[in-house]
Chains A and B, each alone.
Chain A
Amino acid sequence: MTRAGALSQSRMRQRKLNTRAALQIVREDDLHEADDDLPRVLSGLDSGVEKAEQNEHHLQAALSASQAAVIGGKVAQIYIPTPDAVQSSLQYDKLYPLTYAQPATYVRFSSTVEDCAGCAYDMNEDDHTFFKSMNKKKDASTQCSEDQFEEIMNCFEETAQAKQPYAAVDSPPVLSYDEIESSMDDYLDDHARPFTREIYEHWKTRRLGAGNKNLMIGLKFETGADTDDADPYVCFRRREVRQIRKTRGRDAHSAEKLKKLRKELEESREIMAMIRQREITKREQLAVERQLFEQRANLRQVKLNLPDQYKEGDEDILINQKPKKKPLEIAQRAPGNQYRLPQRSDGRSSDADLVLLSDLLAEQERLLTIDIDTKIAQHQQWNVGYMDMTKAPLTPPLESDAGSTFRTATTEYLPTPPASISSEHSGDVTLDFSVLAMGKADSVAVRYASPSYDGPCHSQPSFRRRYGRGGRLWIDRRGMRLPPKAGFDSPDADRFKYDDDDDEDEVPVYFADPFDTESMQFRARLFPTPSSQAQMQARRAQMEVFSHGASHSSTSVRPSRQAGPD
């Protein structure tokens, strides 16, 4: 390798390297010396070691050695010297017995150190001395075990910690035996009880010797004092709640909120400005009005002084005139609205002028008819001398056969059992079943105790069959009484329009239920009084068709239109 290479730092200029580009792997031999860039040793890169330590002799020596090796130098590898570990003089096997048997499967374990280390109190040398001398005084049957001793000491320590949590700070007197005794049941079993009093004295001595501080010295945790920060012994502080990581979404959300807030603030500011403007305008108006009043007063005075200059209309100047009603308003309305209530601009209403709703509707109807009539007339006018051929492809061919004419519908009832007593009108209806059974339709008599429905019956219901476009079969109905719908333009239907639903007294009438007695009675009325056998047959056929083409049946609107002038 060239020595000069490392020296010529100027040639170490980095060319841009694309980390995604595939690079050829070559051997040094394959590299032509001529076009090989000089070897570069780039130790100036950020090593990751703290800057202050980067130049430590041992590290530099090791790094230099490996760098030298990289460029072909012959150096031994260098270790950073560290203090060595040595075998302990303690008897390892005694302290760590051979008890571990590795399970066949990977260990799964969740017990904690506290779970595994038994009693938290460990006897120290002082304890041990005392413990020995204590047991010496006892006979073999009443010896205290080390475990019992530690449990008792642990009990004292824990109780003291619970009752004097700040002993380290305010140094209270050592807990008395009586104070501890109450909590012994939680810690000690009966076997340990005989030794407690004896051990308490020992514990008290030790505690006094330690300034009544906890004998089980632990780590220093944060106390909240200011000195915490500087104390290197204070460790394992609670971390503050992690800051919630900012995300783009969250940022966008807040930005949106701020925008909205700003918009609202700007709007309210604008509203305030406008209110201010309004109030200013009001003040100006008042000023103008006052001026006007004063000038009128002046004028009045002038006029009083000059009575001979009287002119018609001069009084008008002295009062504010109501603006003239725009006649336009009414003219623009639909003709049907001509009969609107006169406007009570003067605040008075004349009862005499009250218009009945029915009159209005009648008038509306009349106007409509007139309108239609004129339209028809116009249409006929246009078509004079012309034959309208365009109509033909759009409308079904003229039906010439007799079937196209409307036939009266008759309903045939099969024998049924008498209506149940509970039925509202059961008592009023009598059917002569015997007659029916004999097939004499004529003689079926239906009597009504009262008219079933107070509405006018327009006409006998009738049907006709016809073919529509595409060969569809249509059943047209006429004269059906349909229950009035909302918006049905009958004056009677309109009657309910303004009624309050909450009005309990007058239950609105609905005609929709087909099993309602009334509607059933109504259907019975469809039965024709004069009827022949042939008509019955025809009717039956009709009913079949009807049931087949039920989905195609057109509503009553359609036949009425068709009946119209087309």
Chain B
Amino acid sequence: MAPRDGSQERISTPDTVEKGMATINTLRIGVKAFVEKDGERRKAEILSIKESKKGEPTFYVHYEDFNKRLDEWVPASRLDLSQEVEWPQPEAPTRKSQKSTAPAPKSATLPKSTVGQKRPRTSTTVATSRKSSETPELTTTSGNASKAVRPSLVGGKENRPGSDNSISVIAPEIISGTPKAEDSELDLVDIQDAAAAAKASNPQHNAPYSREEEIEKLRTGGSMTQNQTEISRVRNLDRIQMGAFEMEPWYFSPYPSNFTAADTIHICEFCLSYFASLQTFTRHRAKCNLLHPPGNEIYRDSSVSFFEIDGRRQRRWCRNLCLLSKLFLDHKTLYYDVDPFLFYCMTTRDSHGCHLVGYFSKEKESAEGYNVACILTLPQYQRKGFGKLLIAFSYELSKREAKLGSPEKPLSDLGLLGYRAYWAETVTDVLVEHEKNSRDGRGSGEVSVEEIGALSAMTTNDVLHTLQNLNMLRYSKGQHVIVLTEAVLEAKEKAKAKEKAKGTARRRIEPDRLMWKPPVFTASSRTWNW
């Protein structure tokens, strides 16, 4: 596809971008050039340059409008220097404030396909292989474990300064992959209209923070967000081996700096200690006798156990956990220590021990009423419905605390999808239950937004957003009503059918199995760093 089609003007943003032809030798950090990616050309910013082993330069690039986890090292051959590149601006004081809002639906050219990409079997294959033209599994409310959106991560709270503001508005791809024939039947117009509408109402960027402001916010805010530096923009580890799995890290994590040289970092599955060599790791395994997260088990059902770990009492373990999760959480920061947090760790059990699947951290005392700070399903366990279970558990704790909760912002992309799916499902369940009761003569068939919140420990705001996202909140005959839409009900039915077909019920948190009282901390421990 031509990289310079209509999108070019919109992408190449502001008024005064210095452009020009470049050679390999004149390229430097900050330059934006077109890079070949999966058979197309994407504009990408060069974040780092190094010599390969053969003495050729390689470039670490970030593709604009793609998540940082796709950043990668590319050889010079993939750079398209036949086109002009954008030179970095010398720290212009004026950030571009506005960008084009015209969302010209470039429907014809839209699929920036990810098919054939070496990261295998992404949603594309899953989605398309899973049939369904007439009954597409479309909603996030279906509750089907296999297609649950992986809510793998959620960031720390404060907005990091947007380092990259040149975001174009591009009509959404309906399918991130080559649409199959059936898929082309989809009502593209509809979707694009909706998306366009969504875009049009999108608020534009807020002013970026200065670095000083950001540090100050970190200092006073008690959060876990990342501080952005040049080094930390480049992924520092190549490969992680943990338990029975190996995976690629997604983001930078401040493991010892000489770990960068190692091919694979070994992580002990139980104590989460890290080793740059197989020899040391093997020796550690010979000695390490930890078999589960070092805390109290507070929940156990047939498939999972939850452990509660106090950051202050298990500093080493919690630091190890944070280092590990930073590999997969862009917005997490390890700037400050782990003391003010509790870590709720989900494990599966077998005769090897309790394997860490995911966790969420939670401030011992959250001024903003957050019930989750960071949340992560380890990559080797993603897309199995664990994320939703983690989220459900966090709300179960909130219910036990008799509080409404919401996750700390910003959310990551995966976090947002995971939470939206959970919220949609939860709210739908409440509404269906209410409707059913009223049909059976119990209850009025009416419910307020706050009641839904109280039943689910969701904040009123989250309930409201969910209702609106599901298009359930309507205005009829002069009053608001909640509509159980066909789409929602259909999705629910389908999820049920699938559960039946599979013979396994969806994983749920059973409140009776939670042996937990909200921990109380003394005033002195709160004042003195926990």
Report A's interface with B, CB cutoff 8 A.
1, 3, 6-7, 9, 12, 15, 17-28, 31-32, 35-37, 39-90, 92, 95-102, 106-114, 116-119, 122-125, 127-128, 146-147, 150, 217-220, 229-245
Instruction: Return the chain B residue nearest A74 by Cβ.
Output: B136
User: Smallest Cβ distance from A378 to chain B, in angstroms?
Assistant: 78
Contact check: which of A23, A47, A74, A84 meets B411 at CB < 8 Å?
A47
Kindly state the separation between the CA atoms of A107 and B245 in the bound complex, as whole angstroms: 26
| Contact in complex: A106, B284 (CB < 8 Å) | no
- From B18-26, B393-401, B483-491, give the one contacting chain A: B483-491
A67-B195, A83-B248 are contacts. A48–B279 as well, Cβ < 8 Å? Answer: no
Kindly state the separation between the CA atoms of A127 and B229 in the bound complex, as whole angstroms: 36
Contact check: which of A39, A46, A220, A240 meets B471 at CB < 8 Å?
A39
| Contact in complex: A107, B296 (CB < 8 Å) | yes
| Contact in complex: A88, B313 (CB < 8 Å) | no
Which residues from 273 to 327 on chain B have a C-beta closer than 8 Å to any C-beta of chain A?
273, 275, 277-292, 294-298, 300, 305, 307, 313-317, 319-320, 322-323
| Contact in complex: B190, A3 (CB < 8 Å) | yes
| Contact in complex: B194, A6 (CB < 8 Å) | yes
| Contact in complex: B123, A81 (CB < 8 Å) | yes
User: B215: which A residues are within 8 A, CB to CB?
Assistant: 229
Kindly state the separation between the CA atoms of A50 and B413 in the bound complex, as whole angstroms: 9
| Contact in complex: B127, A113 (CB < 8 Å) | no
User: B323: which A residues are within 8 A, CB to CB?
Assistant: 219, 235
User: A58: which B residues are within 8 A, CB to CB?
Assistant: 66-67, 114, 176, 413
Kindly state the separation between the CA atoms of A61 and B124 in the bound complex, as whole angstroms: 12
User: B315: which A residues are within 8 A, CB to CB?
Assistant: 112
User: B127: which A residues are within 8 A, CB to CB?
Assistant: 76-79
User: Smallest Cβ distance from B521 to chain A, in angstroms?
Assistant: 11
Q: Pick from B283, B298, B420 the residue with the most CB of A within 10 Å.
A: B283
A72-B487, A83-B119, A220-B254 are contacts. A119–B468 as well, Cβ < 8 Å? Answer: no
Contact check: which of B176, B193, B245, B257 meets A85 at CB < 8 Å?
B245
User: B232: which A residues are within 8 A, CB to CB?
Assistant: 232
B29 at the binding interface (Cβ < 8 Å): no
User: A231: which B residues are within 8 A, CB to CB?
Assistant: 229, 231
Kindly state the separation between the CA atoms of A59 and B70 in the bound complex, as whole angstroms: 13
Instruction: Return the chain B residue nearest A103 by Cβ.
Output: B297
User: A73: which B residues are within 8 A, CB to CB?
Assistant: 138, 186-187, 190-191, 194
| Contact in complex: B283, A123 (CB < 8 Å) | yes
User: Smallest Cβ distance from A160 to chain B, in angstroms?
Assistant: 18
| Contact in complex: B139, A70 (CB < 8 Å) | yes
| Contact digits for B405-421, partner A, Cβ 8 Å, 1 yes 0 no | 00101111111110110
| Contact digits for B470-487, partner A, Cβ 8 Å, 1 yes 0 no | 110111110111111111
B220 at the binding interface (Cβ < 8 Å): yes
User: B480: which A residues are within 8 A, CB to CB?
Assistant: 15, 17, 21, 23
| Contact in complex: A69, B529 (CB < 8 Å) | no
User: B135: which A residues are within 8 A, CB to CB?
Assistant: 74
A49-B412, A100-B351, A100-B353 are contacts. A82–B198 as well, Cβ < 8 Å? Answer: no
Q: Pick from A76, A235, A245 the residue with the most CB of B within 10 Å.
A: A76
Kindly state the separation between the CA atoms of A9 and B194 in the bound complex, as whole angstroms: 10
| Contact in complex: A81, B176 (CB < 8 Å) | yes
| Contact in complex: A239, B254 (CB < 8 Å) | no
A9-B201, A49-B411, A123-B280 are contacts. A61–B351 as well, Cβ < 8 Å? Answer: no
A81-B119, A123-B283, A242-B526 are contacts. A9–B197 as well, Cβ < 8 Å? Answer: yes
Which residues from 419 to 477 on chain B have a C-beta closer than 8 Å to any C-beta of chain A?
419-420, 431, 434-435, 438, 444-451, 460, 464-465, 468-471, 473-477
Q: Which 4 A-B pairs have the closest CB atoms?
A: A79-B123, A69-B138, A44-B201, A118-B287
| Contact digits for B186-220, partner A, Cβ 8 Å, 1 yes 0 no | 11011101110110111101100000000100011
| Contact in complex: A45, B465 (CB < 8 Å) | yes
| Contact in complex: A106, B140 (CB < 8 Å) | no
A235-B335, A238-B529 are contacts. A56–B140 as well, Cβ < 8 Å? Answer: no
User: Smallest Cβ distance from A110 to chain B, in angstroms?
Assistant: 7
| Contact in complex: B351, A98 (CB < 8 Å) | yes
B170 at the binding interface (Cβ < 8 Å): yes
Kindly state the separation between the CA atoms of A69 and B421 in the bound complex, as whole angstroms: 13
- From B53-61, B75-83, B336-344, give the one contacting chain A: B336-344
Contact check: which of B69, B175, B258, B378 meets A78 at CB < 8 Å?
B175
| Contact in complex: B139, A69 (CB < 8 Å) | yes
| Contact in complex: A101, B336 (CB < 8 Å) | no
| Contact in complex: B138, A77 (CB < 8 Å) | yes
B12 at the binding interface (Cβ < 8 Å): no
B160 at the binding interface (Cβ < 8 Å): yes
User: Smallest Cβ distance from A245 to chain B, in angstroms?
Assistant: 8
Instruction: Return the chain A residue nearest B168 by Cβ.
Output: A55
| Contact in complex: A125, B277 (CB < 8 Å) | yes
Contact check: which of A89, A100, A219, A241 meets B354 at CB < 8 Å?
A100
Instruction: Return the chain A residue nearest B334 by Cβ.
Output: A235
User: B285: which A residues are within 8 A, CB to CB?
Assistant: 95-96
Kindly state the separation between the CA atoms of A244 and B65 in the bound complex, as whole angstroms: 42
Instruction: Return the chain A residue nearest B381 by Cβ.
Output: A85
Contact check: which of A62, A128, A232 meets B254 at CB < 8 Å?
A232
B250 at the binding interface (Cβ < 8 Å): yes
Contact check: which of A42, A54, A71, A233 meets B190 at CB < 8 Å?
A71
Kindly state the separation between the CA atoms of A112 and B317 in the bound complex, as whole angstroms: 7
B172 at the binding interface (Cβ < 8 Å): yes
User: B300: which A residues are within 8 A, CB to CB?
Assistant: 106
| Contact digits for B487-530, partner A, Cβ 8 Å, 1 yes 0 no | 11001000000000000000000000001000000000011111
User: A123: which B residues are within 8 A, CB to CB?
Assistant: 279-280, 283
B4 at the binding interface (Cβ < 8 Å): no
| Contact in complex: B413, A235 (CB < 8 Å) | no
User: B337: which A residues are within 8 A, CB to CB?
Assistant: 236-239
| Contact in complex: A37, B474 (CB < 8 Å) | yes
Instruction: Return the chain A residue nearest B280 by Cβ.
Output: A122
Instruction: Return the chain B residue nearest A83 by Cβ.
Output: B248
A109-B295, A125-B279 are contacts. A68–B174 as well, Cβ < 8 Å? Answer: yes
User: B66: which A residues are within 8 A, CB to CB?
Assistant: 56-58
Kindly state the separation between the CA atoms of A265 and B278 in the bound complex, as whole angstroms: 74
| Contact in complex: B198, A102 (CB < 8 Å) | no
| Contact in complex: A106, B254 (CB < 8 Å) | no
Contact check: which of A22, A96, A107 meets B447 at CB < 8 Å?
A22
A81-B122, A109-B296 are contacts. A241–B529 as well, Cβ < 8 Å? Answer: yes
| Contact in complex: B484, A23 (CB < 8 Å) | no
B147 at the binding interface (Cβ < 8 Å): yes
Kindly state the separation between the CA atoms of A511 and B130 in the bound complex, as whole angstroms: 114
| Contact digits for B116-156, partner A, Cβ 8 Å, 1 yes 0 no | 01011111101110101111111110100001011010010
Contact check: which of A46, A87, A118 meets B244 at CB < 8 Å?
A87
Instruction: Return the chain B residue nearest A51 by Cβ.
Output: B205
Which residues from 230 to 277 on chain B have a C-beta closer than 8 Å to any C-beta of chain A?
231-232, 241-248, 250, 252, 254-258, 269-273, 275, 277
| Contact in complex: A21, B198 (CB < 8 Å) | no
| Contact in complex: A82, B485 (CB < 8 Å) | no
| Contact in complex: B291, A235 (CB < 8 Å) | no
Kindly state the separation between the CA atoms of A84 and B69 in the bound complex, as whole angstroms: 12
B48 at the binding interface (Cβ < 8 Å): no
Could you give 7 example pairs across A and B, Cβ below 8 Å?
A9-B201, A51-B159, A63-B172, A76-B130, A81-B176, A122-B287, A239-B340
| Contact in complex: A66, B420 (CB < 8 Å) | yes
| Contact in complex: B123, A242 (CB < 8 Å) | no
Instruction: Return the chain B residue nearest A218 by Cβ.
Output: B256
| Contact in complex: B174, A242 (CB < 8 Å) | no
User: Smallest Cβ distance from B113 to chain A, in angstroms?
Assistant: 11
User: A89: which B residues are within 8 A, CB to CB?
Assistant: 246
| Contact in complex: A86, B245 (CB < 8 Å) | yes
Contact check: which of A37, A53, A69, A125 meets B136 at CB < 8 Å?
A69
A19-B449, A23-B481, A70-B485 are contacts. A77–B140 as well, Cβ < 8 Å? Answer: yes
| Contact in complex: A67, B194 (CB < 8 Å) | yes
Kindly state the separation between the CA atoms of A108 and B305 in the bound complex, as whole angstroms: 12
| Contact in complex: B163, A52 (CB < 8 Å) | yes
| Contact in complex: B483, A27 (CB < 8 Å) | yes
